[in-house]
C-alpha cells in the first residue's frame, strides 16, 4: 500500500526492516569515522553509499519526561529520506518491546528507552518523539554497549 504521508528528513522512525540504524545528516553524529567503498541496499534494489559511521545522540520522549539516548555504530546515509532506528539492532542489543494503543515502548534492562506513536494517514509509521542536543553541550556516556546516558 502506498502512502501519501509526508516524512521529513529530520524525522526519526522505528523500522523493523532495516539491519542498522541509519541517519541522514552528519550534524547528528557525536562520534564519526568516514567510510569509503561501503554501500547498503535500500528499498530492495537501490545501492547507496555509506558516507561514514559513528554515534548519534538524541533525547526521546517518555511518558512524562525526556531521556538522552546514544545509538552506536549508526550508518550515515545522506541520500536516505529520513532517519531510521533499527528494531532488529535494538533486539540484538537486548532491548524488548511492549505494545500499547497506537504505539510501542522500547525497554532495555527493564528501563524505558523511548516510545513510538503510529502516525500518518495509514497509521503505519512508528515516529519517535525526539530532540537533538544543543551545540556546545557536554555529555558523558558510560558502558560500551550502553544505549542510554
DSSP annotation string for 17-82: S-SS-EES-GGGEEEEEE-SS-EEEETTTEEEE--EEEEEEEEEE-SSSEEEEEEEEEEE-TTSSS
Is 23 within the bounds of a domain?
Answer: yes
Query: pLDDT tens-digit profile of 42-63?
Result: 877 889 999 999 999 988 878 7
pLDDT higher than threshold 60 for residue 40: yes
pLDDT band at 5 (very low <50, low <70, confident <90, very high): very low
Cell 535494538 locates to 90
State how far the Cα of 122 lies from the Cα of 139, in Å rounded to an integer: 38
Q: What is the pLDDT of residue 2?
A: 42
Looking at the structure of the chain, the number of domains it has is 1
Domain-embedded: residue 36: yes
Q: Is 141 part of a structural domain of the chain?
A: no
The boundaries of the domain holding residue 90 are 12-131
Average pLDDT of the chain? 81
Flag whether 83 is in a domain.
Answer: yes
Give percent above pLDDT 90 in the chain: 38
pLDDT for 38 equals 94
**Predicted pLDDT of residue 67:** 86
Tell me the CATH number at 114. 2.40.70
Q: Is residue 145 part of a domain?
A: no
Amino acid at each position: 500500500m502506498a502512502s501519501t504521508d509526508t516524512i521529513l528528513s529530520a524525522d526519526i522512525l522505528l523500522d523493523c526492516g532495516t539491519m542498522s540504524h541509519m541517519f541522514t545528516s552528519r550534524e547528528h553524529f557525536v562520534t564519526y569515522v568516514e567510510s569509503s567503498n561501503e554501500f547498503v541496499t535500500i528499498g530492495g534494489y537501490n545501492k547507496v553509499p555509506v558516507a561514514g559511521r559513528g554515534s548519534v545522540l538524541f533525547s526521546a520522549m517518555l511518558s512524562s519526561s525526556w531521556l538522552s539516548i546514544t545509538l552506536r555504530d549508526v550508518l550515515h546515509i545522506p541520500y536516505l529520506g529520513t532517519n531510521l532506528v533499527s528494531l532488529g539492532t535494538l533486539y540484538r542489543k537486548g532491548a524488548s518491546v511492549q505494545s500499547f494503543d497506537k504505539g510501542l515502548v522500547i525497554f532495555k534492562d527493564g528501563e524505558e528507552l523511548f516510545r513510538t506513536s503510529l502516525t500518518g494517514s495509514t497509521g503505519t509509521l512508528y515516529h519517535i518523539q525526539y530532540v537533538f542536543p544543543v551545540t556546545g553541550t557536554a555529555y558523558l556516556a558510560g558502558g560500551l554497549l550502553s544505549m542510554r546516558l
